[in-house]
Amino acid sequence: MKVLFFNYEYPPLGAGAANATECILREFVKMPELELDLVTSSIDEKYHLVKLGEKIRIHRLPIGKNAEKLHFQSQKDLLVYSWRAYNFSRKLARDARKNNKPYDLTHSFFTVPCGFLSMLLKFEFKLPYIISLRGSDVPYYSDRFTFLYKLITPLIKFIWSRSAQVISNSEGLRELAFRSSSKQKIEIIYNGIDIKQFFPKSASEVGDRFILTSGASRITDRKGLNYLVEAVAKLAPKYPQIYLKLMGDGNARERLEQLVKDFKLEKNVALLGRIPHEIVLPYYQEASLFVFPSLNEGMSNAMLEALATGLPLISTNTGGASELVTDGENGFIIKFKDSQDIADKIEKLILDEELRKKMALASRVLAEKMSWESVAQKYFGVYKQVGKNK
């Protein structure tokens, strides 16, 4: 089985979808019958070939990326990636066919731009393709792309309709996709979590501060972090030990920094910037609580990481929250855009240590039922079925 894989993001570039790709590929290494080429973006001006094992190759193409904005991909970045990835992948496909080792299919994370490339390759090389919905590629997922969605939704639906399989990473994202294409068949393969990489802290490591985290993710308006900062402003006078640490970077960071100054929360809120994924564990482990006021989400990797680290979860009911948070058992569901509701739920857990411990244990138990190995096996099962149908 030979697969050509597209994702314009791959660590250290990108966030959730990039990390998911890396985790899946590391599991694919364990499957000797699978050979795969990932075509992704470089973070500098050079082409890089990276190998995972003997049969997994990562091709990093230069797209003129600004190394200071690794979390944020501009429309220019996507266009440059699309052009270079298309030309590069056509060469890969031609060479593979010439050497009598053709690809069996292509797999794209994100409908656009990657799914568009898969569709073009299907027309030229008769390769079936799989689309993994990741969030922003689903119409009306992000306010940032509202105007763009109006232009490209017909194209998105066309790409889905020509695919061999469309796969969502959460029930919520699938329901959003159905709003644009109600008859499209969409399966679900949830994101996974590495419970060996993310695990709870020991009791001896608990500090005096009550630390909140939203995990390692992009700082954008869609994340709703301004409502979390407002909630901290409501709580700080009564609970001076509260301390919010925000990891990540993005186009909303400056506005959040100004909001922190406006509320005089410099002693209660820290914007840490981008933290490399391989060293984020201590930031989860030092926290007492994970708060995620996102306005729209797929299946959040940050939430999964917090789950495995044994944190109670406070989240809006978006994306995979309904699959990961059982209200009152391992966390609370909060209202959208409601800083008071966020503050009330945080206060409950500040005051009730036993409830906090009970929820933390429930989070870890749930995380142990999930794994990237399972996710990779499910995708490989789809590959085999699509290849068989071909």
Query: Nearest to residue 214, comparing CAs of 178, 246, 254, 251?
Result: 246
How many domains does the structure of the chain reveal? 2
In a domain, 269, yes or no: yes
In a domain, 175, yes or no: yes
The pTM of the full predicted model, rounded to 2 decimals, is 0.80
pLDDT score recorded for residue 155? 96
Same domain, 179 and 226: no
pLDDT score recorded for residue 326? 94
Same domain, 265 and 140: no
Same domain, 95 and 185: yes
Same domain, 153 and 179: yes
In a domain, 15, yes or no: yes
Same domain, 249 and 298: yes
In a domain, 44, yes or no: yes
In a domain, 197, yes or no: no
Question: Judging by DSSP bridges, how do beta strands 56-61 and 48-52 pair with one another?
Answer: antiparallel
CB–CB of 71/252 below 8 Å?
A: no
Same domain, 294 and 233: yes
Taking the C-alpha atoms of residue 223 and residue 316, their distance in angstroms, rounded to an integer, is 10
Q: How many helices (H) and strands (E) does the chain have?
A: 13, 14
Taking the C-alpha atoms of residue 121 and residue 106, their distance in angstroms, rounded to an integer, is 8
CATH of the domain at 99: 3.40.50.2000
- Residue-number span of the structural domain to which 155 is assigned: 2-192+371-389
Question: Judging by DSSP bridges, how do beta strands 186-188 and 210-216 pair with one another?
Answer: unpaired
Eight-class DSSP state of 202: P
Same domain, 119 and 65: yes
Same domain, 244 and 154: no
In a domain, 198, yes or no: no
Whole-Å CA distances, 133 to 87, 111, 127: 23, 7, 19
Q: How many CB atoms lie within 10 A of CB 272?
A: 13
Q: How many CB atoms lie within 10 A of CB 303?
A: 30
Same domain, 50 and 175: yes
231: its two tokens: 């909630």
Whole-Å CA distances, 53 to 64, 82, 276: 28, 27, 23
In a domain, 212, yes or no: yes
pLDDT score recorded for residue 204? 42
Distance linking the first and last C-alpha atoms of the chain? 12
Same domain, 136 and 229: no
Same domain, 242 and 136: no
Same domain, 24 and 170: yes
pLDDT score recorded for residue 277? 84
Q: What is the pLDDT of residues 312-365, one digit of tens each?
A: 999 999 867 888 999 999 999 999 999 999 999 999 999 999 999 999 999 999
pLDDT score recorded for residue 319? 66
pLDDT score recorded for residue 67? 67
Q: What is the pLDDT along the chain (390 residues), one digit of tens a residue?
A: 999 999 999 998 888 899 899 999 999 999 999 999 999 999 999 999 999 999 999 999 999 876 666 666 777 888 999 999 999 999 999 999 999 999 999 999 999 999 999 999 999 999 999 999 998 899 988 777 778 888 999 999 999 999 999 999 988 899 999 999 999 999 999 999 988 899 998 754 456 899 999 998 889 998 999 999 999 999 999 999 999 999 999 889 999 999 999 999 999 999 999 898 889 999 999 999 999 999 987 778 899 999 999 999 999 998 678 889 999 999 999 999 999 999 999 999 999 999 999 999 999 999 998 889 999 999 999 999 999 887
In a domain, 295, yes or no: yes
Q: What is the pLDDT of residues 89-109, one digit of tens each?
A: 999 999 999 999 999 999 999
